[in-house]
């Protein structure tokens, strides 16, 4: 009887190891579907090494991001999982790890079309943005709603399908955290549409307040777009986001 039990346990253990080693990448997609807005489509390979198309869901539609994302899990321990992610938009494969003290992301950068912002929902799905996003970040750690590190996003040659003015300008957003709730800072680097403001990002909740104005010579051309950005206050528009 003891030999039979040992054989059964060995078979069960072997089956568990085989299933874990060959766990399909689609399982990772199923998990992501219940834990956020990102979706994995046409997943291939395994949970440990695979590729898929990446999409962003607004609850009704999924915006597909061009290019396949590829991942490799390089280290697996009871309290830490480490791996690398590759995508055509990334300047180099992104190294990250998940542990009890949060998610750690290595320094990196990326470049992508600004149209991807439409997948984030309002107000971008209305503005239908164009231009280029240049993103860079320091070695960072994310734990709950807290961030240690800095992310910088430059929106260059910004455009909107709602305005004939091209480009609207170049803008910089900085997300910075020192172990607590990260702060948001928006500044205009150049262009006829001037925007600036500050806010915070706690988890998925963004609270932001700022102002938008137009250069005097472009006031008439930008009047319609300004009216869509927020509430008017004289020749300014008040920007307010509270998700």
User: Is the distance from CB of 119 to CB of 127 less than 8 angstroms?
Assistant: no
Complete DSSP assignment for the chain: -HHHHHHHHHHHHHHHHHHHHT-BHHHHHHHHHTSSSEEEEEEEEBSSEEEEEEEEE-SS-EEEEEEEEEEEEEEEETTEEEEEEE-TTBSSPEEEEEETTEEEE-SEEEEEEGGGGGGG-TTHHHH-EEEEEEEEE-SEEEETTEEEEEEEEEEEEEEETT-S-S--EEEEEEEEEEEESPEEEEEEEESSEEEEEEEEEETTEEEEEEEEEE-GGGHHHHHHHHHHHSEEETTEEEEEEE-
Residue 116 lies in a domain: yes
Residue 4 lies in a domain: no
Note the pTM of the prediction, 2 decimals.
Answer: 0.81
User: What CA–CA distances, in Å, run from 76 to 80, 82, 161?
Assistant: 6, 7, 46
Looking at the fold, whether 74 and 151 belong to one and the same domain comes out as: no
In whole numbers, what is the pLDDT of the chain averaged over residues? 83
Residue 11 lies in a domain: no
Looking at the fold, whether 125 and 201 belong to one and the same domain comes out as: yes
77 - beta bridge partners? 80
Lowest-pLDDT range of 34-48, 108-122, 176-190: 34-48
CA atoms within 13 A on the CB side of 76: 7
The C-alpha angle with vertex 142 and arms to 137 and 146, in degrees rounded to 5, equals 110
Residue 71 lies in a domain: yes
Looking at the fold, whether 180 and 108 belong to one and the same domain comes out as: yes
Residue 191 lies in a domain: yes
Work out the average pLDDT over 125-143. 91
Structural domain of 55: 24-87
Looking at the fold, whether 190 and 81 belong to one and the same domain comes out as: no
Query: Model confidence over 45-56: pLDDT tens digits?
Result: 887 888 888 887
pLDDT band at 18 (very low <50, low <70, confident <90, very high): very low
Residue 168 lies in a domain: yes
Looking at the fold, whether 65 and 125 belong to one and the same domain comes out as: no
Lowest-pLDDT range of 3-7, 20-24, 107-111, 117-121: 3-7
**% of the chain exceeding 90 in pLDDT:** 42
Looking at the fold, whether 158 and 214 belong to one and the same domain comes out as: yes
For residues 147 and 186, what is the distance between their CA atoms, to the nearest angstrom?
18
Of 59, 87, 115, which residue sits at a domain end?
Answer: 87
- pLDDT at residue 31, as a whole number: 63
Looking at the fold, whether 83 and 174 belong to one and the same domain comes out as: no
The total number of structural domains in the chain stands at: 2
Lowest-pLDDT range of 21-25, 107-111, 197-201: 21-25
Looking at the fold, whether 148 and 77 belong to one and the same domain comes out as: no
Query: Model confidence over 76-116: pLDDT tens digits?
Result: 666 788 889 999 999 999 999 888 878 899 999 999 999 88
Looking at the fold, whether 195 and 76 belong to one and the same domain comes out as: no
Residue 232 scores a pLDDT above 80: yes
């Amino acid at each position: 009887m003891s030999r039979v039990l040992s054989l059964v346990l060995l078979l069960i253990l072997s089956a568990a190891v085989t299933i874990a080693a060959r766990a399909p990448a689609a399982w990772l997609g199923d998990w992501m579907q219940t834990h956020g807005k990102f979706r994995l489509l046409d997943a291939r390979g395994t949970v440990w090494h695979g590729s898929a198309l990446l999409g962003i869901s607004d609850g009704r539609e999924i915006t597909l991001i061009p290019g396949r994302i590829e991942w490799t899990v390089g280290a697996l321990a009871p309290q830490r999982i480490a791996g690398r992610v590759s995508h055509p938009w990334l300047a180099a494969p992104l190294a990250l790890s998940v542990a009890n003290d949060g998610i750690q992301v290595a320094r990196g950068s990326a470049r992508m079309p600004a149209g991807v912002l439409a997948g984030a929902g309002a107000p971008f799905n209305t503005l239908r943005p164009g231009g280029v996003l240049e993103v860079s970040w320091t070695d960072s750690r994310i734990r709950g709603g807290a961030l240690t590190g800095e992310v910088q996003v430059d929106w260059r040659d910004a455009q909107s399908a709602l305005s004939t003015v091209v480009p609207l300008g170049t803008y910089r957003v900085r997300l910075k955290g020192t172990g607590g709730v990260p702060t948001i800072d928006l500044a205009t680097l150049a262009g006829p549409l001037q925007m600036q403001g500050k806010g915070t990002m706690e988890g998925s909740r963004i609270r932001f307040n700022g102002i938008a104005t137009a250069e005097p010579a472009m006031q008439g051309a930008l009047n319609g777009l300004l009216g869509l950005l927020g509430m008017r206050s004289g020749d300014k528009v008040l920007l307010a986001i509270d998700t």
